[in-house]
Chain A
Amino acid sequence: MELRPILSAMRRNKVGAILIGVQMAITLAILCNALFIIEQRVALSKRPTGTDEANVFVIVNQWVGNPPDLAAKQQGDLAALRALPGVVDAVASNSFPLHNGGSTEGIKLTPDQKNESALTALYFSDEHGLNAFGLKLVAGRNFNADEVTVKMGYTDFGPPSTIIITRTLADKLFPGKSALGQSVYFEGLPKPVPIVGIVDKLQVPWTQAGGWGSKFNDNSTIMPFRFVETYTDYIVRVKPGQIAAVMKAAEKSLIDLDRARVLEKTQTLTEARAEAYQDDRGLAIILGVVCAALVAVTAFGIVGLTSYWVAQRRRQIGIRRALGATRQAIIRYFQTENFLIASAGAALGVAMALGLNLWMVTTFEMERLHTSYAVIGALIVLLLGQLAVLWPALRAASIPPALATRAV
């Protein structure tokens, strides 16, 4: 295919070609960044919590006033919950994964260490915790009943006797060796705390992309506290398939037990997940819609402008046909023209995409764009151009050679 006539034709129609090329470049820049964000947010919202999510629900319980016998009331509640048919276990906790609220602490390996070795989310629960959350213990053991102490609200800073930590946290604190039996120090507490167990996974309560917790997503510590507060979360695990029925029964049994309370929220962890990642899902869907619209607009723009070019060159095309050019050659002419514009646009677009991503990395603390996205984006844009140009090109090919002999 001879490129020269195409190039010289384009030179006479610079602005139109530039407009299409720039449009394709911006489309590419947005497209691959948007696809990248969509992929990241989808991956984010699928992160496992480490719990038996399908079979766990949470009741957020708040006592009215400040009843003096809070600890006994709480134990009464938990006994009632555990007695319900279909319940595997129940525990009171300060927080739960996907809750987006909780406590954090810095961990040190020696008491006088200046910088923390790691940040960890704290979950307070007694020996029922592992079973109620449905966590998988991979090393060591569960808390013994005699290790559990009472923690009277958030202002009680008594030290834990032992802890269970997640595998990720264990690997971070003691890389290459077993964390089991090792001791760590919590900020402000002079006493070493031994690690008695390691669970496979337990996500921190925070889920926001780039937000608090995103840098230590799997660093969690369970402290053997019976957490006595007016505001606690009851974590209830049920036998498979019974969650809806047990939830209803659980609310009723708590209210029957004592009416002086507010059950602020009763939800399954599945519902908590949908709620926690709602904005991520929303962002992904909106970006998807915008991408589709963007591709459509660019395609129609190419169709429109190329159709105009075809109309403008009807006579010349007729002459070429009369001089022996086949329909194929005419189609190829417009395809090649579009390919040249799209290639220039794609080259510019890849540069813009990387620049845009770099800017987003610094301002939004986003991750670096994977090169494959730029390549995929460039291919999409090239393909888009070819598809969009097809219809006007076919129209051009149908121009009869006889046109050349007629006066305009």
Chain B
Amino acid sequence: MFTYYFSLALRSLRRNVVLTALMIAAIGVGIGASMTTLTVFRAMAGDPIPNKSRQLFAVQIDNWGPRQGVVIGDKDNLQEQISYPDAIGLMNARAAQRQSAMYATGFSLIPPNPELRPFVVHARAAYADFFPMFEVPFRYGGSWTAADDAGHADVVVIGRELNDKVFGGANSVGKTMNLDGHDYRVVGVLDRWQPTPKFYDLNNNKYGKSEEAFIPFTRAVEQQLGSWGNNNCGGDTIPAPGWEGRLHSECIWIQFWAELPAPADAARYRTFLNNYAAEQRRLGRFHWAPNTRIRNAREWLAYRQAVSTEVRILVLVSFSFLLVCLLNAMGLMLAKIMGRAVDIGVRRALGASRRAIFSQCLIEAGVVGFAGGLLGLGLTLLGLSGLRSLLSDDVNRLTHFSAIDVAIAITVSVVATTLAGLYPTWRAVQVQPAWQLKAQ
């Protein structure tokens, strides 16, 4: 029956080419616009670490105290990063299954080939737990060890691109790499790893590339590698000069993540943090009641508003646009079906059930939706290439169109058009055969 209705639908659509073309064009344009923005939105709002996003927690500790200052507008009196004393305090306590303090830094790399000019490598100082905690894939070798953390070892894990650039893509584990004049031993080479957004540090380039080199936090601090990320020296105390002064200051520049697999672990960690802050108060460092918080990766992305305002506006506008297109198609479908009231009357009189008319009209709407979806796909690809030329490289990384997006586009188009076809179909079903025949 379906194939018969399908051929009927095609025949009916052919009968009024202009109206059909208008419907398909309207739906295609609407689908094209909304899928273009949805693709970007999905990439921005995506879960960068789906297996563990509810088990990985960003840690916040208020080390500045309640402020009346209205100028710096933070939402809950909690800073988005932590200070060095707190990072060390939490690392020493090891109250979570895995944890790592981390910060963005970088080097100039002097290539072994003297012909080549030095270039900048963005790096991250972290603890060994960083790699298993974030499920970072390795191509060669692996993470450094906790002993390397303790021993401030000169080891480095490098990204795949950097390995390609410096070692020609060969297994470089055991080789040395000169970073800012110091030799580091390569212990691991990453496979492609690009969490989007870069949830563990949203301060800079949140959709940008992940770092190309990772070294032990302890080594980076010993080496006095400054933070290349966000540094905030608010609070009431002024840091003493120099690196030591920075370390002992209440400046915030470190991100801290903990892996807490079960809700009970999270609850325990919350208690631990509160006790830690209370302890700091007893020691005279904090002069206020403990204010600490952990947020899992999903909550963290929402809290930090990872999706840019521009994209949210575009999604809103393009879906309203799709709605207009669907209303439009609905009006045209209505016109088409009412124009065929006589046909429908004849079919009913010849014995077609309401059900049969209903499925026939809906299949016709579905065919229009499918055709509109195909057109929409083409327009989406066009739209995405348009976006690539208009938006910054950061956002551009988010314009990949996958098989899933194709499926979404077609499904949305067929379902939405069929829904829009419901009312015209209902009207078709209401056609009284006797009336139509009489008018003849």
Chain A interface residues toward B at CB < 8 A: 15-16, 19-20, 22-23, 26-27, 29-30, 33-34, 37, 62-66, 106, 114-116, 118-119, 152-158, 187-189, 209-210, 215, 259-262, 264, 275, 278-283, 285-287, 289-290, 293-294, 297-298, 300-301, 304-305, 308-309, 311-312, 360, 363-364
Contact = CB atoms under 8 A, between A and B. Distances in A.
Contacts of B26: 297, 300-301
Chain B contact residues, majority secondary structure = helix
Contacts of B334: 15-16, 19
A278 B339 contact: no
A305 B334 CA distance: 9
A16 B309 contact: no
Contact of A283 (B226, B310, B320): B310
Given A157-B238, A294-B324, A304 B332 contact: yes
Given A114-B68, A155-B243, A210 B331 contact: no
Contact of B309 (A63, A155, A364): A364
Contact of B327 (A19, A29, A189, A285): A19
B15 to A, nearest CB: 13
A116 B19 contact: no
A308 B309 contact: no
A278 B392 contact: yes
A187 B234 contact: yes
Contacts of A308: 19, 332, 335-336, 338-339
B146 interface: no
Contact of A156 (B180, B226, B241, B395): B241
A26 B339 CA distance: 27
B72 interface: yes
A115 B68 contact: yes
B119 A262 contact: yes
Interface string B222-260: 001010000101101111111101100000000000000
B331 A16 contact: yes
B264 interface: no
Nearest to A301: B328
Contact of A63 (B108, B226, B238, B245): B108
Chain A contact residues, majority secondary structure = helix
Interface of B: 19, 22, 25-26, 29-30, 33, 68-73, 108, 110, 117-120, 180-181, 224, 226, 231, 233-234, 236-243, 245-246, 308-310, 312-314, 317-318, 320-321, 323-325, 327-328, 330-332, 334-336, 338-339, 386-387, 390-392, 395, 423, 427
Given A158-B241, A308-B335, 9 more contacts: A33-B317, A64-B108, A64-B180, A106-B69, A114-B69, A156-B241, A261-B108, A279-B391, A279-B395
Contact of B241 (A116, A155, A286, A309): A155
A290 B70 CA distance: 39
Contacts of A153: 226
Given A187-B234, A261-B118, A29 B108 contact: no
Contact of B331 (A188, A294, A304): A304
Contact of B310 (A262, A279, A311): A279
A304 B22 contact: yes
Most chain B Cβ neighbours within 10 Å, of A119, A188, A275: A188
B33 A290 contact: yes
A188 B238 contact: yes
Contacts of B336: 308
Given A116-B71, A304-B22, A290 B317 contact: yes
9 contacts: A30-B320, A30-B324, A34-B317, A62-B120, A65-B180, A157-B233, A262-B118, A293-B33, A364-B313
A363 B242 CA distance: 42
A304 B335 contact: yes
B335 A16 contact: yes
Nearest to A37: B313
Contacts of B25: 300
Nearest to B330: A19
Contact of A262 (B19, B73, B108, B330): B108
Nearest to A285: B390
Nearest to A186: B238
Contacts of B332: 301, 304-305, 308
Nearest to B335: A308
Most chain A Cβ neighbours within 10 Å, of B231, B308, B331: B331
Contacts of B117: 259, 262
Contacts of B395: 279
A30 B317 contact: yes
A155 B239 CA distance: 8
Nearest to B230: A101
B438 to A, nearest CB: 13
Contacts of A114: 68-69
Nearest to B327: A23
A139 to B, nearest CB: 25
Given A262-B108, A279-B391, A301 B71 contact: no
Contacts of A360: 313
A209 B238 contact: no
B28 to A, nearest CB: 10
A305 B242 contact: no
A189 B238 contact: yes
Contact of B338 (A26, A157, A312): A312
A27 B22 contact: no
User: Which 3 residue pairs spanning A and B have beta carbons closest together?
Assistant: A308-B335, A282-B390, A188-B238
Contacts of B72: 106, 119
Contact of B246 (A155, A188, A278): A155
